[in-house]
Amino acid sequence: MVAYSLSQHKQFLTERQESLLAEVRLVLEQLAQALDRLGSGDVAPGDMRTLRETMQHISELFLLVIAGEFNSGKSTFINALLGANILPEGVTPTTDRITLLRYGDTWQENLLEAHLIERSYPADVLRQLVIVDTPGTNAVIRRHEELTRDFIPRSDLVLFTTSADRPFTESERVFLELIKEWGKKIVLIVNKIDFLDAGEYEQVMEFVRNHARDVLGTVPDVFPISARQALRARISDDLDLWKKSRFADVERYIVETLDEETRIRFKLLSPLGVGQHLVKRYLLTVETRLSTLREDFATLTNIDQQLDLFKEDLNNDVQYHLNEIDMILRDLEIRGNRFFDDTIRITRLPDLLRREHTQELFEREVVGDISQQIEERVHTLIDWMIEKDLRLWQSTTDYINRRRLPQNRDGIIGEVGGAFEYNRGALLDTVGEKARRVVESYDRDIEARAMADDIRASVAATAIAEAGALGLGALLIAIFNGMLLDITGIVAATVLAIGGFYLLPAKRRQAKRAFTQRIDELRVQLRQAIQRQFNSEVEQSITRIREAIGPYTRFVRAQREHLTGLQRELAELDRTMQRLRVDIET
Ligand SMILES: Nc1nc2c(ncn2[C@@H]2O[C@H](COP(=O)(O)OP(=O)(O)O)[C@@H](O)[C@H]2O)c(=O)[nH]1
Ligand SMILES: [Mg+2]
């Protein structure tokens, strides 16, 4: 096998071509790395293979690919070009393989891949290029279409044949679009013009040009020919028929226009076309994912805002209820002072001496149901908080579930969705499931009891240490008893010595002052304890929700960073390739 290639032609490459070649290699290498980073499950294996093949292919001989619908005359065209019946022609699609024709001193045949055969033949035109015969596009024989399609990225120039008797079919249009997507140079061949009279000929050419412009954006070189006439003319040396075949133009194009310099230029452009096509494709993947992530992020922001709102709401409510508790304590203070005014008097001396009776009075008139009143307030808060906590879990579950709904995955499942969509889906399933279970098993009573216990313990531990587990009423009575002892001591003294009388008003004042002071302390301590406890309950509840959705949050953050980086990188590669393209073209 004689291999002519860009690298083996190195002595013919100018310094500039050398450096462009190095740049093309580098940018493709960078693209391969970027696609690797996108994740193995996220890049279609075919695309990775195509990229690798393209990189290898840079150093191979110029590849001229003949594509077009089955029976449009591709094989006949190549035979005419080589001047011999090298390839089988026929109206039935007999071969489902691609044939590579290379220069060789002798006729040889090698099977390269399952559907790729290589033949050598001593035709001069093959010294410069490898000509590829494809089975063609054919809606009926899918396999042919696949084979041809997979081969397109490797080509450096595509000669696209359409048959003049059925020019530009729908499947040809689709196929041309594909060739264009890979950034390939295209030349159009309108074959079998021997079928047409002059009028038809103009019509067909007009039709082909218009459609080519629609699909490609520009009108490519179009060569109307009769391959069959050209082949016959070649074999029988029939000059008239040769002229009729109009084959000379296309041959000149291949042999002369496609000179060494042009071939090198196309050869350098070809991998860029592949690279840019892949960049576009995966930029789209990245963008689709980023837009999914943007919505995910919005969902997380919503959940966050809810949590903040919950905190704020609860804080307001706690303040309100604390003020109410203040009022209760203020009333207590007023009642207490009145009680001291009423009871610490000479006229009440007999009562004062009956301590138990006085204590009962104090309990009834001053203490009353103050414990229950305060507890009620606290319970209202607890109930509010439990309700709100449950509702937070419910709406979090709803938010998560909305992100797992199948319609959110539309258009991104399958090839493009890849590992990203799979991981994201699995994650949302787990997180959503967990949140749902919390909601389902939420027991308000148990939660409320636990919270009440916490608050009681906290109040007992910090606010009113003396009270221990006795509760507020008991505490107040204990305080009162302390004062009462003091006062009864005075009362006893009063009975024994006249001088004690004068002490009584002072003692009353002192008792009132002390009582007020104790109530103030109580108020401050209660306020602090309740506030602290509720704050910590809110934090706990928020932390629990944050932890539950944590894996999702982390996924969204990490992926967003990762994909934003890749997006920048791919866009940069695209710019580099665009610049290289311009460099090569000029
Ligand atoms: N009339 C006419 N028939 C042609 C021409 N070129 C090829 N054919 C015939 O069209 C059929 C298909 O040709 P072939 O080269 O096998 O087409 P392929 O399937 O595209 O390779 C064969 O019978 C050829 O003889 C042409 O220029 N004019
Ligand atoms: Mg054929």
pLDDT in tens, 277-312: 999 999 999 999 999 999 999 999 999 999 999 999
In this prediction, residue 566 has a pLDDT band, given cuts at 50, 70 and 90, of very high
Q: Are 398 and 360 in contact (CB under 8 A)?
A: no
Q: Closest ligand 1 atom, CA of 161?
A: 20
Q: Indicate which residue's Cα is closest to atom 13 of ligand 1.
A: 73
Q: Which residues sit with their C-beta closer than 6 Å to ligand 1?
A: 70-76, 89-91, 136, 191-192, 194-195, 226-228
What's the rounded Cα separation, in Å, for the pair 159 and 66?
5
In this prediction, residue 11 has a pLDDT band, given cuts at 50, 70 and 90, of very low
Q: Are 71 and 55 in contact (CB under 8 A)?
A: no
What's the rounded Cα separation, in Å, for the pair 145 and 294?
39
Q: What per-residue confidence (pLDDT) applies to 92?
A: 58
Ligand number nearest CA of 193 is 1
In this prediction, residue 393 has a pLDDT band, given cuts at 50, 70 and 90, of very high
pLDDT of 399 over the 50 cut: yes
What's the rounded Cα separation, in Å, for the pair 139 and 172?
10
What's the rounded Cα separation, in Å, for the pair 550 and 555?
8
pLDDT of 525 over the 70 cut: yes
What's the rounded Cα separation, in Å, for the pair 302 and 463?
37
What's the rounded Cα separation, in Å, for the pair 359 and 302?
57
Residue 4 CA, ligand 2 centroid: distance in Å? 25
Contacts of 244 (CB under 8 A, 6+ apart): 194, 226, 229, 233
Which of 59-63, 279-283, 479-483 comes out lowest in average pLDDT?
479-483
Residue 77 CA, ligand 1 centroid: distance in Å? 8
Q: Are 98 and 130 in contact (CB under 8 A)?
A: no
pLDDT of 95 over the 70 cut: no
Q: Which of 71, 137, 204 to mutate to test the pocket of ligand 1 (most atoms within 8 A of CB)?
A: 71
Q: Are 367 and 339 in contact (CB under 8 A)?
A: no
Ligand number nearest CA of 78 is 1
pLDDT of 147 over the 90 cut: no
Q: What's the sign of the alpha-carbon dihedral 72, 74, 75, 76?
A: positive
Kindly list the protein residues that place their beta carbon closer than 5 angstroms to ligand 2, a single-atom ion: 74-75
Q: What is the dihedral of CA 399, 401, 405, 408, to 10 degrees?
A: 30
Residue 445 CA, ligand 2 centroid: distance in Å? 81
Residue 183 CA, ligand 2 centroid: distance in Å? 25
What's the rounded Cα separation, in Å, for the pair 46 and 143?
16
Q: How big, in percent rounded to 5, are the helix, strand and coil portions of the chain? A: 75, 10, 20
The DSSP bridge pattern shows strands 186-191 and 116-121 to be: unpaired
Q: In this structure, what token pair is assigned to residue 66? A: 């003949």
Q: What per-residue confidence (pLDDT) applies to 472?
A: 65
Q: What's the sign of the alpha-carbon dihedral 538, 542, 547, 548?
A: positive
pLDDT in tens, 318-355: 999 999 989 999 999 999 999 988 888 877 877 777 87
Q: What per-residue confidence (pLDDT) applies to 77?
A: 97
Residue 133 CA, ligand 2 centroid: distance in Å? 7
Phi, psi dihedrals of residue 115, rounded to the nearest 5°: -120, 25
Ligand number nearest CA of 79 is 1
The DSSP bridge pattern shows strands 98-103 and 116-121 to be: parallel
